Structure 1
Amino acid sequence: MTNPISLTLHGVSWQLPDGSFLFSELDATFDARHTGLVGRNGVGKSVLARILAAEVTPTGGRCARIGRLHYLPQQITPRAGETVADLAGVRGALDALHRIEAGSTLQADFDAVGDRWQLSAQLQQALSAMQLGHLQADSAAMHLSGGEAMRVALAGALVSDADWLILDEPTNHLDARHRRDLITQLQRRSGGLIVVSHDRLLLESMARIVELSDLGLRSHGGGYSFYAERKAHERAVAIEQLERRKTDRRRQTRALTRQRERLEQRQSRGTRQAAQANQAPILLGLQKQRAENSAGRLRVEQAAARATLSQGVRDAAAQVEDDPAIVLLAPGAAPTMPERVASLREVLLPNVRGRAQRIDLRLSGAQRVGLLGANGSGKSTLLKVLAGLSEPLSGVRELAVETAYLDQRLSTLDPARSTLEQMLAANPSADESTVRTQLALLGQNAARVPLPTERLSGGERIKAALAMALYAERPARLLLLDEPDNHLDLASVQALETMLRQYRGALIVVSHDTAFLANIELTHRLQASERGWLLTAWS
């Protein structure tokens, strides 16, 4: 690459339909350094990534781009008829290459191919590196798991001829092995890279971290550990400065009050002495006028001083990032759990290969199971069969309790309706005030509660889906969670861990975050292996 590349924001803003701003007046330059873009859920990271990638136009300001772009959204959803080449974003170039090989001389075909004459081999090599060597460019994409679909899209990004890769949560559906492999491949890649992520391992490999918050954009050199250390230090300094300003305001306010009281006392004494001296009325009037003028000047001076002190406090408070607590409240009373919660007897799972296709499982009491296995091993399929959303090829499924299933795409949410509407529908006996309080404890901004869920961030949507299950008229006594931590920022993950520790029902959860699984007090692990499904105690 001979020319420098850059993405520059000039006063970029994004205004919401209600007139409020998601962010405003952002100025920043992204160069070839690999950059992690972080921030709380709902702050606008994905919108900013789409602006940088020229997917959308900002409502204010502009973005100047030098270099070719390849953008990867956080949700990869194969549509009917799509192939691996479609998911990888190389269908047009491959079709043009095949036409040229068949004799085409159209300039449009040569433009589509560019210098990528080895694209077919490069794609196959990239798929093999992602442990997807069994797929071909024309393989159907509909039956790929979430992790497989993401790996195909990542393979396409890595073989693209783009100067810039802009990736939104690329590790969300990847298991631990594939996360490590992706990090290695990205580290080897030259060119610009911007990654929106909450994955601490991926962020640690970045050359710098840029945080989007209500304070705007702030750049921190180094990876995640350096960023976390600097952020904690900056917040502590900002809070200390705010407390100093508040203390100074209290001290100065007391001094101003004493000054006013002393003036009033002097004026009172002067008035009494003048009256006792039997001064002429004209002199008394002049003295009263001087006193009123002095008091007036003091009032003006003190008002200005108080305004300056208050502005100093406001300026210091503006440097302390809003950090609201997030609380996920599990139902208070422990649910009554039958001896058998769910069972699968001699079940054959659809679309699963090898010995993991067959499973016998009995879930009892408040058993809490971590569902483990490589991408494509059948974890999501197993949850769908348990939830009754997919029929087994053979065998018997039994469910004895209310069950809530949250898939990776959160399909239980109606994208056109608000969280408030859907929670009230799930629990008609609840009043709107109670539901709004529950949503506020979830960290939902009151202004975003009426929005359709399709306009919420990934983290806001997962919390909404959990709330609907836990605060329903008949709360779920069995939670089936497929990677619930995928779209959550660190604070929200910790809140989710707390809620799941409090939850007293049965639980089966899929996650590739070992720290998350360790923190939710699981009792068992159900592992997909070459020998089939193995249920063992969690340790």
Structure 2
Amino acid sequence: MSTSFPAAISPSASGSPITLSDITFAWPDGTAVFKHLSATIPAGVTSIVGANGAGKTTLLRLIAGDLRPTSGSITATGSIGLVDQHPQANQTDTVADVLGITDRVAALRHIEAGSVDPDDYTVIGDDWDIEARAVAELSGIGLGTLELDRTVGEVSGGEATLLAIAARLLDRPTVLILDEPTNNLDPRARRLLFDAIDRFAGSVLLISHDLELLERVNTTMELYRGDLRAFGGAYSLYRQTMESEQDSVAAAVVTASNDLRKQRREMIEAQTKLAHRARTARKAEAEKRVPKIIAHGRRSAAQVSAGKLRTEVAADVDAAKEHLNDVAADVRNDLTAKIALPELSIATRREIVVDDELPVDGPERIRVAGANGSGKTTLLRRIIDDEAIQVPYCFVPQLITFDDENRSIAEAMADAHPELTLMHIHSALARMLFRGDRSKQRLSTLSGGERLRVALAIGLAGTTPAELLIIDEPTNNLDIETVEQLAAALNGWNGALVLVSHDENFVDRVGISRTVTL
């Protein structure tokens, strides 16, 4: 919807469409999301990247006016139109309802039928071409065949997303905000979306895990630890910059570690030297080689000197420790973490799936492709229900749920695999980046990417490992780091793979040997 600015948001007179000034936001329970965030979002097409839970969607809702900052201000040029991740929840709404033109179209119909009711003219205002504009907007985004009285429940998920975008474009916003717009879109719908973004005259601000879409932006902004940082160019340039920075950070950590070892070695050498001096002084005093008053003076001077040296050496060690901690704080584990799938070996001619429509032999890597509604998910579920699969397998559906969301990750793993020891459970979870206390996290608190990793951990664990992975649209609702981790893991998977994905860039990175098109 196109937003009217609340008190905290005001029109901007600057060349940048959005300015955040000292924004602080916390949820009602006191959980802080942003503290004193300031940033300028430039004109053009801008993406915001960051890990799940970083606050990307919350930031978009603040900018759109759906949420109010606790303090600070948001300045925006013109009007804002927001399309969220789940744009159509009411299945009984009509296309006209979604477009927000039901009353105006009805008033037009009344006038065309001869009505002279002033209310009809008031409803229409200056929008006498609203129906024509709506049809043109729908046609421009590939929905020209949709009738205005058709319900949302009658259209596919991809069409519902495109419809929501058409509705916002019809409002003629200055800034269009899109939260994961390629979810549920088939290749044709994605092309239509890309074309619509290219044609849009205003600025676009988006969140996406879609690597192809992220390569089409003018500016990439990273949300990390509550701060926004801008990188000129597409996602790949951002990654190059971050990887270069992390190489420098890694080198700095090595240098700081070496310096700390050097300072500790010097401290040991100093302590050894002081201990030797003390022993020599005590021996000389005991043997009365020097007068007592002189020995006492020497001992006092030595103690002062030793204390001063210890203080200086300890200060050098503490400084080296602090420097190492400062440098190590810049290490980005989120950019280097890797999902590790279990290794196995499958004979080339082994029958994996015996099915006329989707046969799988040996370690084949098969993509199931097709337009929205073509039956891709139905095919996957049919081969499972028909018991066509001849080997242990792991199926990861689009919507990942658990029987008891109040259980912890480790408890869910133990429930699924009671035969595993605690050591094996933690080892399996560690391969999916759930290390230490992370395994105690409640399932209900997990992000989309974390849910996928738990599902993989459970599906691939056990005394009889899975030899077939069946994954249905895995990149939906994942943060970009998890997408990259998953692509790398699947690329190295030695077992059989059946993949449904609309993300061409992701598919290319995974590596596919055969495509079955429905």
Mean CA deviation greater in 290-299 or 171-180: 171-180
Structure 1 residue 183 displacement after superposition:
2.7
Q: Contact (CA 8 Å) 2:260, 2:321: kept in 1 or not?
A: yes
State the partner residue of 1:222. 233
Pairwise CA distance, 1:435: 3.4
Partner of 1:64: 74
Identify the match of residue 95 of structure 1 among 99, 102, 106.
102
Residue aligning to 1:361: 357
Q: Is 2:22–2:35's contact at 8 Å kept on the other side of the alignment?
A: no
Q: Secondary structure at the match of 1:361?
A: coil
Residue 189 (structure 1) shift: 2.2
Matching residue of 1:306: 317
Deviations 1:374-396 (A, max 9, x none): 334343344344455xxxxxxxx
Query: Can you list the C-alpha shifts for 1:70-95, whole angstroms capped at 9, x where unaligned?
Result: 32223445443233345xx43xx313
| Higher RCO structure (Cα 8 Å, ≥6 apart) | 2
1:118 and 1:383, CA in 2 relative to 1: closer, same or farther beyond 3 A?
A: farther
* Distance 1:288-1:244 versus aligned 2 partners, 3 A rule: same
Residues 9, 63 of structure 1: 8 Å contact kept: yes
For residues 210-258 of structure 1, the C-alpha deviation after alignment (integer angstroms, 9 at most, x for no partner) is 1123484322112223212211221122222222222223333333443
SS of the aligned residue for 2:152 comes to: coil
Q: TM-score, normalised by structure 1?
A: 0.77
Question: Between the two proteins, what is the percent identity of the paired residues?
Answer: 31
Alpha carbons of structure 1 residues 336 and 469: separation in structure 2 relative to 1, 3 Å? farther
| Contact preservation (8 Å) 2:105, 2:131 | no
CA distance in structure 1 between the aligned counterparts of 2:162 and 2:405, rounded to whole angstroms: 26
Verify the 8 A CA contact 2:12 2:18 in the aligned structure 1. Answer: no
Unaligned ranges ≥5, structure 1? 344-359, 389-396, 529-539
- Whole-angstrom CA distance in 1 between matches of 2:316 and 2:27: 36
Deviation sequence 1:108-151 (CA, Å, 0-9, x none)? 985xx887654433332232223222212331222433322222
What amino acid sits opposite 1:45 in the alignment? K
Structure 2 matches for 1:58-457, cutoff 5 A?
62=72, 64-66=74-76, 67-76=78-87, 78-86=89-97, 89-90=98-99, 93-98=100-105, 100-101=107-108, 102=110, 118-214=129-225, 216-273=227-284, 278-323=289-334, 324-330=336-342, 332=344, 339=351, 341-343=353-355, 361=357, 363-366=359-362, 368-388=365-385, 399-401=388-390, 405-410=395-400, 419-431=409-421, 434-444=424-434, 449-451=439-441, 453=443, 455-457=445-447
Q: 1:411 to 1:265 in 2, by over 3 A?
A: closer
Could you say which residue in structure 2 is the equivalent of 1:39?
Answer: 50
Q: How many aligned positions are there?
A: 496
Equivalent residue in structure 2 for 1:8, among 8, 16, 20: 20
Instruction: State the AA in 1 paired with 2:366.
Output: V
Give 1:209 deviation, angstroms.
0.9
Measured in 1, the distance between the counterparts of 2:319 and 2:122 equals: 67
Query: What's the CA shift for 1:321?
Result: 1.7
Cα distance change, pair 155–458 in 1 and its aligned pair in 2 (3 A): farther
Question: What residue number does 1:513 align with?
Answer: 503
Matches within 5 A, 1:20-39: 26-39=37-50
Q: 1:278 Cα shift?
A: 4.5
Compute the RMSD of aligned alpha carbons.
3.9
1:397-419 deviations in Å (ceiling 9; x for gaps)? 66355766544333577666654
Distance 1:222 1:517, change over 3 A: closer
Q: Which runs of 5+ in 2 are unaligned?
A: 1-10, 111-115
Structure 1's 368 and 2: CA in aligned 2 closer, same or farther, altered over 3 A?
Answer: closer
2:204 partner SS: strand
Which residue of structure 2 aligns with residue 537 of structure 1?
A: none
Instruction: In structure 2, give the amino acid aligned to 1:325.
Output: A
Q: Within 2, Cα distance between the matches of 1:33 and 1:303?
A: 54
TM-score (norm 2): 0.80
> What's 2:461 paired with?
471
> 413-422 vs 182-191, which deviates more?
413-422
3-state SS, counterpart of residue 8 of structure 1: strand
Aligned-partner Cα distance in 1 for 2:25–2:133: 39
Q: In the alignment, what sits opposite 2:5?
A: none
**Which digits, 9 at most, give the CA deviation of each residue in 1:169-197, with x for residues without a partner?**
21233334433432332233233422112
Say whether the 8 Å CA contact 2:49–2:480 is kept in structure 1.
no
